[in-house]
Amino acid sequence: MDRDATADVNAPHSMGTTIIGVTYNGGVILGADSRTSTGLYVANRASDKITQLTDNVYICRSGSAADSQIVSDYVRYFLHQHTIQLGQPATVKVAANLVRLLAYNNKNMLQTGIIVGGWDKYEGGKIYGIPLGGTILEQPFAIGGSGSSYLYGFFDQAWKEGMTKEEAEQLVVKAVSLAIARDGASGGVVRTVTINSEGVTRNFYPGDQLPLWHDEVEAHNSLLDILNASNPEPMST
Alpha helices in the chain (DSSP H): 3-9, 65-86, 92-105, 152-158, 165-182, 223-230
Active-site position among 17, 18, 36, 51: 17
Contact between 11 and 138 (Cβ < 8 Å): no
* Half-sphere exposure at residue 136, Cβ-oriented, CA atoms within 13 angstroms: 19
How far apart (Å, rounded) are the C-alpha atoms in residues 67 and 82? 23
Specify the amino acid at residue 157.
Q
Active site residue 17: yes
How far apart (Å, rounded) are the C-alpha atoms in residues 112 and 192? 20
Residue positions counted in the chain: 237
- Radius of gyration, alpha carbons of the chain: 20
How far apart (Å, rounded) are the C-alpha atoms in residues 181 and 154? 14
The conformational region for residue 162 under phi > 0 = left, psi -120 to 50 = alpha, else beta, is left
Beta bridge partners of 210: none
Give the active site residues.
17
